[in-house]
Amino acid sequence: MKAIGIVCSPRKNGNSDVLVREILKSSGIKENEIFYPNEMNIKGCQACYSCKERGRCAVEDDMGKIYDAIEKADIVVFGAPIYMSGVTAQFKTVLDRLFAFLGPAPEFVSRLPRGKRAALVVSQGYEDAKEYEAHINQMKNAIASIGFEDVRVLVAPGLNGLGEAIGKPDMVKEARIIGESLVRA
């Protein structure tokens, strides 16, 4: 098995990163890799629909590395904190570019092989875990629409300091449970 993480936070070693790494570690999968879109050259979707004709995105940038890794992975763990009451620019950019995995309209059938699983880690500064529930459900549904059959979600509220999630035993435990469950599914 192979697993990858896509940490869509501008803060490396931040809370999303910490929890994504914990999920990957607890999965027991030795072959894993983490991508940091904030440090990569990834342009936004150009809405050219070339991917619907060619089966591959026409934009040539670092997103190609993420496409290749997703195609080879059994499990993908997304880290996407809530910023300014919504998704980060990094997550939105990656998500828009994942549109390339969908076939032409009106069906938009996924080109990904069946059986891929995903997890979504959403860290947020606000204490109420339900405050951004609509955004989180939208994120989860968008990931599922790309072709992931099972999307587990870890909401990590009340986190503002860099990497402070590692000091929250309940969050770390939940991340470990998700990691273990992804390989058993």
Exposure on the CB side of residue 151, measured as CA atoms within 13 A: 19
Exposure on the CB side of residue 57, measured as CA atoms within 13 A: 24
Mean pLDDT of 167-179: 97
The residue type at 122: V
pLDDT tens digits for range 108-118: 999 999 999 99
On the question of pLDDT at 86 being above 90, the answer is no
pTM equals: 0.96
Quick one: pLDDT band at residue 60, thresholds 50, 70, 90?
very high
**8 Å CB contact between 159 and 117:** no
pLDDT tens digits for range 105-146: 999 999 999 999 999 999 999 999 999 999 999 999 999 999
* H-only helix segments in 4-159: 15-27, 50-54, 63-72, 89-97, 133-146
